[in-house]
């Protein structure tokens, strides 16, 4: 096991502590400043709205899940146990944190597999870095009896991480091999730095059919890793990357026949953020730090509250969809959106027609 940093804590424990310190319940600015055009006649009733979606050949009753976080230490094992219980009783899909800790040290395998033990029938994604070989990826899938595996790409995090990797030359080639050799769907995932359309096009070209564009606006791993450095000397890299809204607009600018399915994550805090992400083209939405808040102590005392939040979000997503006249998740892509000013500027520079988002309902 690793022991780094000023408190002598395990790296995974530090990540949880530092992510928790930066959490804010406020919507990220690109989400807050992206607005739906309100139309007064929805011509729809709540009971007719369906929240179902399908990603990576898996069916989801609701369009949000708890995204990758942790495992690998005693404390994070307890967090994963709470997440497993939440997955089972809250009926919400889950992703584990990177399983690499268990591959290096099998004695911590239980801190991941506990998620499956507590949640025998739910959807669980395993998670691993993009340099791992097929055998390791199979081990990660087996450990969690995972329905899919997220392969994370996190170059800025590695660069700022004191003990991080410096060789990213084989990631794309390796992802191609993983997609070809694994029996479960592979989701290529950022960790909060966002994706460009060029990145997504390259991933699609090697067979990736689902990406998680995980953008800025929420947990910032440049900031987390910088806090773990003795001299905090990479503070200027904090905020690196594209926002979740920008990343969605980037990926949707690819032609539909060359575009993978999209999971949106990064700074998602409430049902309106979820609905906006879906309207911007996401098929499914992931939340990490927001759900960490309920389980960060590894105790069950806030699980009831978390389950109520999940229920409430489901109802409120359906209510917002009703206001918008969207019967299905796909219908949300026909709603009218005025993109945040910062996103408009980005689109201008990147040759993306942001005005088209504001006139979609007329094209029904």
Residues that bind ligand FNR (CB under 6 A): 15-16, 19, 67-70, 97-98, 127, 150, 152, 189, 191-192, 214, 218-219, 265-268, 287-290, 292
Q: Which of 221, 205, 214 is nearest to 172 (CA)?
A: 205
Q: How far is the CB of 288 from ligand FNR (least distance, A)?
A: 3
Q: How far is the CB of 221 from ligand FNR (least distance, A)?
A: 7
Q: How far is the CB of 42 from ligand FNR (least distance, A)?
A: 29
Q: How far is the CB of 275 from ligand FNR (least distance, A)?
A: 16
DSSP alpha helices (H): ranges in the chain?
11-22, 29-32, 74-89, 100-104, 110-118, 134-144, 155-160, 171-181, 197-205, 221-227, 244-252, 271-279, 289-295, 303-324, 341-350
Cα–Cα distance, 360 to 157 (Å, whole number): 37
Q: How far is the CB of 155 from ligand FNR (least distance, A)?
A: 13
For ligand FNR, the closer CB: 96 or 335: 96
For ligand FNR, the closer CB: 119 or 157: 157
Residue pointed to by tokens 């995974």: 12
Cα–Cα distance, 171 to 129 (Å, whole number): 9
Residue pointed to by tokens 């607009």: 249
Q: How far is the CB of 227 from ligand FNR (least distance, A)?
A: 13
Cα–Cα distance, 113 to 140 (Å, whole number): 10
> Measured between alpha carbons, how far apart are the two ends of the chain, in Å?
56
For ligand FNR, the closer CB: 154 or 335: 154
3-state secondary structure at position 247:
helix
Q: How many residues does the chain have?
A: 364
Do the beta carbons of residue 316 and residue 337 sit within 8 Å? Answer: no
Chain residue at closest Cβ approach to ligand FNR: 218
Nearest-10 Cα torsion for 329, 334, 335, 337: 110
For ligand FNR, the closer CB: 217 or 325: 217
Q: How far is the CB of 68 from ligand FNR (least distance, A)?
A: 4
For ligand FNR, the closer CB: 74 or 336: 74
Cα–Cα distance, 122 to 31 (Å, whole number): 30
For ligand FNR, the closer CB: 97 or 122: 97
Cα–Cα distance, 361 to 364 (Å, whole number): 5
For ligand FNR, the closer CB: 19 or 49: 19
What tokens appear for 22 in the block? 């930066």
Q: How far is the CB of 47 from ligand FNR (least distance, A)?
A: 31
For ligand FNR, the closer CB: 292 or 343: 292
Element holding 242 (H helix, E strand): none
For ligand FNR, the closer CB: 27 or 150: 150
Do the beta carbons of residue 359 and residue 336 sit within 8 Å? Answer: yes
Do the beta carbons of residue 148 and residue 185 sit within 8 Å? Answer: yes
Q: How far is the CB of 31 from ligand FNR (least distance, A)?
A: 11
Do the beta carbons of residue 290 and residue 311 sit within 8 Å? Answer: no
């Amino acid at each position: 096991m690793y022991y780094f940093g000023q408190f002598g804590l395990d790296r995974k424990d530090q990540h949880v502590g530092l992510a928790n310190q930066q959490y804010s319940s406020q919507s990220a600015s690109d989400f807050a400043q992206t607005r739906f055009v309100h139309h007064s006649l929805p011509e729809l009733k709540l009971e007719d709205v369906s929240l179902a979606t399908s990603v990576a050949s898996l069916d989801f009753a609701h369009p949000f899940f708890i995204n990758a976080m942790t495992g690998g230490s005693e404390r994070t094992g307890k967090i994963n146990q709470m997440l497993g219980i939440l997955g089972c009783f809250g009926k919400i899909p889950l992703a584990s944190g990177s399983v690499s800790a268990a591959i290096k040290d099998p004695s911590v395998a239980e801190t991941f597999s506990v998620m499956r033990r507590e949640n025998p029938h739910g959807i669980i994604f395993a998670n691993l870095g993009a340099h791992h070989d097929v055998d390791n990826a199979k081990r990660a899938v087996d450990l969690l009896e995972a329905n899919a595996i997220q392969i994370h790409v996190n170059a800025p995090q590695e660069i700022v991480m004191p003990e991080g990797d410096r060789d990213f030359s084989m990631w794309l080639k390796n992802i191609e091999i993983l997609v070809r050799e694994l029996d479960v769907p592979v989701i290529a995932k950022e960790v909060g730095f966002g994706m460009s359309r060029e990145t997504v096009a390259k991933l699609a070209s090697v067979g990736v059919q689902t990406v998680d564009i995980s953008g800025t606006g929420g947990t910032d791993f440049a900031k987390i890793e910088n806090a773990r450095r003795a001299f905090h000397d990479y503070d200027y890299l904090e905020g690196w990357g594209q926002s979740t809204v920008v990343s969605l607009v980037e990926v949707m600018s690819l032609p539909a026949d060359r575009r993978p399915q999209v999971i949106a994550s990064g700074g998602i805090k409430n049902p309106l953020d979820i609905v906006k992400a879906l309207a911007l083209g996401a098929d499914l939405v992931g939340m990490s730090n927001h759900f960490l808040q309920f389980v960060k102590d590894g105790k069950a005392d806030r699980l009831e509250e978390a389950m109520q939040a999940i229920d409430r979000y489901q109802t409120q997503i359906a209510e917002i969809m009703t206001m918008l006249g969207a019967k299905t998740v796909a219908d949300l892509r026909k709603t009218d959106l005025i993109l945040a000013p910062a996103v408009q500027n980005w689109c201008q520079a990147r040759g993306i027609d942001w005005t088209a988002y504001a006139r979609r309902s007329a094209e029904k």
